[in-house]
Structure 1
Amino acid sequence: MQSINIKNKLGMWAALLITLASNTVKANNTDTYNLTAAMQPVSEENIFHDKDYYNWGSTIVKGDDGKYHLFYDQMPKKHGFYSWLTDGIVSRAVSDSPTGPWKKVQEVLAGRGDGYWDQYTVHCTKVYKFDGKYYLYYMSTNSGIMDLTEAQLDEVRHGKWKPDNLRGMLRLNQRIGVAVADNIEGPWKRFSRPLFEPQLPIANQSNNVTVTKRPDGGYLMIIRGDQPDQKPNEIVRMQAVLLADNPLGPWKMQSKPVVVNYNSEDPEVWYDEERKRYYNLYHAFGYMGMLTSTDGLNWHRAQHYKVADKEYTTTDGKTVKVHRYERMGIYLEDGKPAVMTAGIFLKNGDTHSLFIPLKAD
């Protein structure tokens, strides 16, 4: 009888431990954000065109004036869409709403010309307000000691990438830098060097920067570079993490990559304070996916991983299929996703910046 009681008690304890473990797993499983379900149809005022420029990716910042300020990438139509590598600029627009309509008010930054690391282009920008200052992160490139003629520049603008041509050279020289301002209207202070040089786990170049503040007060950056073991005539894009105590750095590369062994780019990272985890939205050349992490270092596919195909829905019920759906961004209002931005390349060859209202979860 004694042994039976002991067995019964052991069974009860085992059942209790299983229940506690199950409850702990449920408590830690906070990966519940469904971005697809939050995405709402768009109207004409959620689409931002320019007759002289290709409008592309963008960042929304709420100013001290109560208005919404949009920093967005542009490329001159006269040079073609692929002049993002040579002639990109970042401009600023203003609206009373984070979904538009937007009015362009300023061209903010362009390439600085000969003698600078950011000689050509300002592209793939992200703008943040940290502790009262504005930080504009961007990609730029240069031709080193080689002076490119106008004919050579035109070749880069319109020619396809090859590892040994001029476009290939400018691609390899891509680096991430930052400009800082006390006022959202500028002036912007730039620096003599990029923030860091490419190092393992990425190789060759750095692009597609995104930054968020960590709950411990530091900063986390995700960038896109090349996979080190790719073949000479192919490009495999991967993502890596850097950490810093200050938005200006020094930024320390972390050894574990975010994404490896398949093409992905245009990361957008943010910290979800309610769920106590990071999310990373990116495009994988055919669809949009989302990763998550509780520490910012170890990433896996989110529960609601696939966010969207290359299409969006309008308020009049139409589904618009597009050629490219890239450069996603998430605008947080009071710590919660309120708007998703994207660069849209239409099948007719035109582009626009897109602003998708997000339903509160």
Structure 2
Amino acid sequence: MLARRAFLTGLVLAPFARAWAGLASVRLIDYPRGSFSRFSKHLQPVGRALELPDWYVWCNSPIYGPEGRVHVFFSRWPAKKGMGGWLNGSEIAHAVADRPEGPYAFLETVLAPRGPGYWDATTCHNPSIQYVDGKYCLFYMGNSNGKTDTKRIGLATAPTLSGPWTRPNAPLLLPGPEGAWDDHCTTNPAFIKHPNGQYWLYYKSWNTKEYEEAKGKEIRGNRKYGLAIADKLQGPYVKFEGNPVIDFSRQGSNKQFEDAFVWRQHDKFRMLARDMGVYSQEVGLYLESEDGRQWTFPTIAFRPLRDYGVQQPPAPAGLKRYGRLERPQLLLRHGKPVYLFGASQGGAALTASAFMFKIT
């Protein structure tokens, strides 16, 4: 549980430098003093990438390849499906660039929905690429009915970033029993190999009854994070008895979060995530932990794109989260974060694309 800390392309890139130097003057929301993390003060905006005509692009997970190039595994779905198409028609694709800033060349679709009879029949989403035990591991979410209640976490593996990918016939982690806090789904995987040799998988879920009783509300249910641990990469993963390890519901006003990314640095577990009301709906969260189970109360990790001087055309109809950064993923070099990749609505195609920050 939380150990509370005091809660005190289609862009104009020219304004970045001056906006970065004077961010406080352009913020539209004043947050409590001391609420910004040290991490947040080292983000230099780079711009968009993977602006694909006729596609929404989301969930951009980067990794350095053995040849020194940057590979990104990302979700995409046809623009005609609209922003909500991720739930019923997303696939996971692979792109590569000579440097983190791009340009990126599309290579192939890696995982696509398999159709009736499979647990990932209707969507493949939330990719998170890792190199573990000499193989490439692509954690992802699939569903079988195009709805949230069959979202499950799975793991595909390959000897190289070019494949071939071995795809699972069953999910890696199932929801809890009826009535449990996590009985609705397992999704948004965040993985780390523990220094003790165990395999730790963080996952998002919520309670079905709370979700169903909240029909008509802007945000249904309360998203929390649990931890599951295995002695082998392929599992079985056993849920930590102290779950959920991160729960903001006691803060009131249905405060919650999602999109966690976890890494270890300087002997601490660290987490980035998207805020859903702890501070606002527009910022990211940064948390730390000594043991990976008890986490500090979050500080702000990143702000909306407008606060960095990013100028965009007016939001098209249907893009209600325009300018917000979601799905934070880090490009690590020797265990140190060097670039932050996120997803944001907008871009040249007026759909959604990757957006990157250099970490200074």
TM-score between the two structures when normalised by the length of structure 2: 0.77
Match of 2:303 in 1: 309
Identical amino acids, percent of aligned pairs: 27
Matched, 1:354 2:355: yes
Match of 2:331 in 1: 331
Q: Does the aligned pair in 2 maintain the 1:57–1:72 contact within 8 Å?
A: yes
Match of 1:290 in 2: 286
**Secondary structure, counterpart of 2:297 in structure 1:** strand
Cα separation, 1, equivalents of 2:288 and 2:261: 11
Q: Does the aligned pair in 1 maintain the 2:173–2:186 contact within 8 Å?
A: no
Show the 5 A alignment for 1:14-163: 34-43=38-47, 46-143=48-145
What is the deviation of 1:323? 4.1
Q: Amino acid of the residue matched to residue 102 of structure 2?
A: G
Matched, 1:277 2:268: yes
Q: CA RMSD in A?
A: 2.2
Match of 2:235 in 1: 249
Cα separation, 2, equivalents of 1:224 and 1:35: 23
Distance 1:122 1:318, change over 3 A: closer
1:317-359 per-residue CA deviation (whole Å, 9 max, x = no partner) reads: 5466944321111111111110111010139952111121101
Q: Does the aligned pair in 1 maintain the 2:306–2:323 contact within 8 Å?
A: no
1:139-193 per-residue CA deviation (whole Å, 9 max, x = no partner) reads: 11113xxxxxxxxxxxxxxxxxxxxxxx6xx211111111111121111111221
Q: Does the aligned pair in 1 maintain the 2:269–2:291 contact within 8 Å?
A: yes
Show the 5 A alignment for 1:193-212: 193-199=170-176, 200-212=180-192
What is the deviation of 1:301? 2.0
Q: Amino acid of the residue matched to residue 159 of structure 2?
A: D
Match of 1:266 in 2: 259
Q: Amino acid of the residue matched to residue 40 of structure 1?
A: Q
What is the deviation of 1:229? 6.6
Match of 1:20 in 2: none
Distance 1:226 1:98, change over 3 A: same
Name the structure where helix makes up a greater proportion of residues. Answer: 1
Cα separation, 2, equivalents of 1:109 and 1:318: 32
Q: Amino acid of the residue matched to residue 337 of structure 2?
A: P
Structure 2 gaps, min length 5? 1-35, 215-219, 250-254, 313-320
1:23-76 per-residue CA deviation (whole Å, 9 max, x = no partner) reads: xxxxxxxxx972111101224xx5320002111111112112221111011111
Matched, 1:345 2:345: yes
Q: Does the aligned pair in 2 maintain the 1:277–1:295 contact within 8 Å?
A: yes
**Secondary structure, counterpart of 1:82 in structure 2:** helix
2:165 to 183, 188, 193: 188
1:214 to 187, 194, 213: 194
Structure 1 gaps, min length 5? 1-31, 144-166
Cα separation, 1, equivalents of 2:346 and 2:54: 16
Give the length in aligned residue pairs: 295
Cα separation, 2, equivalents of 1:326 and 1:100: 20
Tell me which of the two structures has the higher relative contact order, counting C-alpha pairs closer than 8 angstroms and 6 or more residues apart.
2
Cα separation, 1, equivalents of 2:324 and 2:125: 17
Match of 1:16 in 2: none
Q: Does the aligned pair in 2 maintain the 1:311–1:322 contact within 8 Å?
A: no
TM-score between the two structures when normalised by the length of structure 1: 0.76
Q: Does the aligned pair in 1 maintain the 2:46–2:101 contact within 8 Å?
A: no
Match of 1:9 in 2: none
Cα separation, 1, equivalents of 2:208 and 2:294: 20
What is the deviation of 1:247? 2.2
Cα separation, 1, equivalents of 2:306 and 2:137: 31
Cα separation, 2, equivalents of 1:115 and 1:350: 31
Computing the radius of gyration from Cα coordinates, the structure with the larger value is: 1
